[in-house]
Structures are given as structure tokens and as C-alpha cells.
Amino acid sequence: MSEGAGRPEGRAGQGPDAASNDQVLQLDSFEVQVVPITQQLRPFLHELTVSVRWPHRDSDLDFLIRQGEGYLALDEIGRPVGSAMHFPMGKDFALLGMMVTPPRLQARGGGRFLLRTIMRDCAGRDMRLNATRSGYRLYREEGFLDVGKVWQHQGLVGEVPVPDPLPGVEIRQITPQDRAAIEAMDAHAYGADRGPILAALMQAGHGLIALCAGQPCGFALVRQFGKGQVIGPLVAEDERMAVAMTARLLDGGRGSFMRMDTPFPGTGLRAFLTASGMTQFDTVTEMRVGPQRRAETGTVTFALAAHSLG
């Protein structure tokens, strides 16, 4: 918890920031108060992420709270014991994330309660999430279907291999005038309109755009996150283009810690990341409720913005 942050006075959820739609979950001999996540409650969310060894900094959590909505579960003396959020994208889609359910809550059904609360809020929308091993069974039981694996690569960037040249492809820095083209490519690749989130990501960092015969055919963003920087989203027409943009971004980050989460099943990009010092750290399973919306042809997604943003 950050310095100077206090817990709600008296019963959890009854302080000045408590919302009128707080919910109560009875877990064995103690009650859990479920309250909407606000910027003022970010220290509690940070306390949760630290407990499960997630690398999120305060500024990372502030960014996510601004983009989404969700809930914190607080026990009777105001300690955080769980969280869940959703990030609306367009009128008919949402990404579920920040599902933090330590064993104490998970074993008593708290994770399921929070998930069902979020799913109720997203009624009428298709949904997607990235499941850790500990949450996978719960999501299957609640109707989520597998989309595919996401490989998390991270590490200190060393010597970056020089990729093969791409004749006819120009890669340059993104400018504000590229925003419409980036949003169009991302909407096709991602399967939903996340224009406001993309705008926030572009403001938070910088990136590259690829042009094929003068027409936009890919982009990659990079920003500060966790222990260093994260590359994503990255959208491209093929894996060679994805590698070329990644190489440019890694070349500027030699000696620093970088991360990429890729859902692409090919091995070329992952081999390139490993050769650059970013070895595979973990995997999660992307899951969905509703049709498969991620593109498999044209511009496709090679790197996620974050597990909680897709």
C-alpha cells in the first residue's frame, strides 16, 4: 500500500468512497464487501497484484482503472481479497481482466462470484479473457471456450539479430496523422473497436507503422510497463514484418528489460525474441464467450497490449 493510504473506516465499503450498489458476499464466518474500483482505491488493487507477484506499477494500475470498470472485494476489516475488471470495446465486446483471486478467496467461491458479477455487467457483449492455469477450470465451467495460447517472453535485451530485408516495405515512426489507419488495422485484427484504448496507448508510448507500397500494413506500439517496457499491440500482415518492427523497437532498448505477449502460433517471432534475450517466461490461454473475432488473415495480432487489454 502506498504511503499515506488508509483503509475505509468501520465496515468495509462504508467509507466516503463507497458506492450505493455495494454487494455483500458471505464466505463461511466472514463477509466480503464488493465495491466498485475507483482511482482512490488503487492502493488496494496494487496490494492484490503484489500478493500474486504481478509486476504492475501504480501508474500501470492507474492506466487500467481509467480504461475499464470493475470491483474490489474487501473483508470485514478492509483488507483487499479479490478483484475483477472489464474493458468495454465498442458496443458489443468486452475484455475481462485484472482477475486477482488469491487462494483464500478462490477456495471459498469468491473468484466465481466476482466473475459472474462482471459477466452480468457485460450481458449482451461477446467476451474474451486471458486465463492463467489457476483460473482456467473456472472459466471453462462458466462457459468460456479456448481460442489459443499466448506466449509471454521477457528479459534483458542483448544483441538483436538483423532480420531479413523486406523489399517494398517502409517502417517509420508513428505520427498523429496515422491514428485512423492504426485504428482500422487494429479493429480488423482484434475483432472489435478499441479506438479510445488505442489512443490512450499511443499517448502513453510511441511506435512504428509499416507501409507496403505506401499503404499502411502494420504497426507496433511500445510503452513503459512493469519492470521495463512492453511491446504491443503489434499488428502485421505476416511474421517477417512483425519481426522487422520488433527488431527496430528492441534495437532501441538494448540492455533494458522488455516484454512481449504473443498469441501468434508461428515460431519465427518467438525464436527472434529468444535470440534477443527475451526468453519464454510463461503462457496463458486466451478464451472467449461468443464467436471467434480475432482475424486469421490480412492484418493479424502478433502481440497483446496487455493481458487485461488484449
Predicted pLDDT of residue 106: 65
Question: Interior CA angle at 131 toward 126 and 136, to 5°?
Answer: 105
Give me the helix-helix angle, 42-51 and 58-67, nearest 10°.
120
Asked whether the beta carbons of 244 and 218 are under 8 A apart, the reply is: no
Strand-pairing partners, residue 30, are 27
State how far the Cα of 185 lies from the Cα of 190, in Å rounded to an integer: 8
Predicted pLDDT of residue 168: 93
Asked whether the beta carbons of 304 and 234 are under 8 A apart, the reply is: no
Strands 93-100 and 80-88: antiparallel
- Per-residue model confidence as pLDDT tens for the chain (310 residues): 333 333 333 333 333 344 445 676 655 556 889 999 999 999 999 999 998 899 999 999 999 999 999 999 998 888 898 999 999 999 999 999 999 987 766 656 788 999 999 999 999 999 999 999 989 999 999 999 999 999 999 999 999 999 999 999 999 999 999 999 999 999 999 999 999 999 999 999 999 999 999 999 999 999 999 999 999 999 999 999 999 999 999 998 899 999 999 999 999 999 999 999 999 999 999 999 999 999 999 999 999 999 999 9
For 252-306, what is each residue's pLDDT tens digit? Answer: 889 999 999 999 999 999 999 999 999 999 999 999 999 999 999 999 999 999 9
pTM, two decimals, is: 0.88
For 208-238, what is each residue's pLDDT tens digit? Answer: 999 999 999 999 999 999 999 999 999 999 9
Predicted pLDDT of residue 158: 96
Asked whether the beta carbons of 35 and 72 are under 8 A apart, the reply is: yes
**Burial of 193 by CB count in 10 Å (0-12 exposed, 13-18 middle, 19+ buried)?**
middle
Look at residue 163 and give its three-state secondary structure. Answer: coil
Predicted pLDDT of residue 23: 75
Predicted pLDDT of residue 77: 87
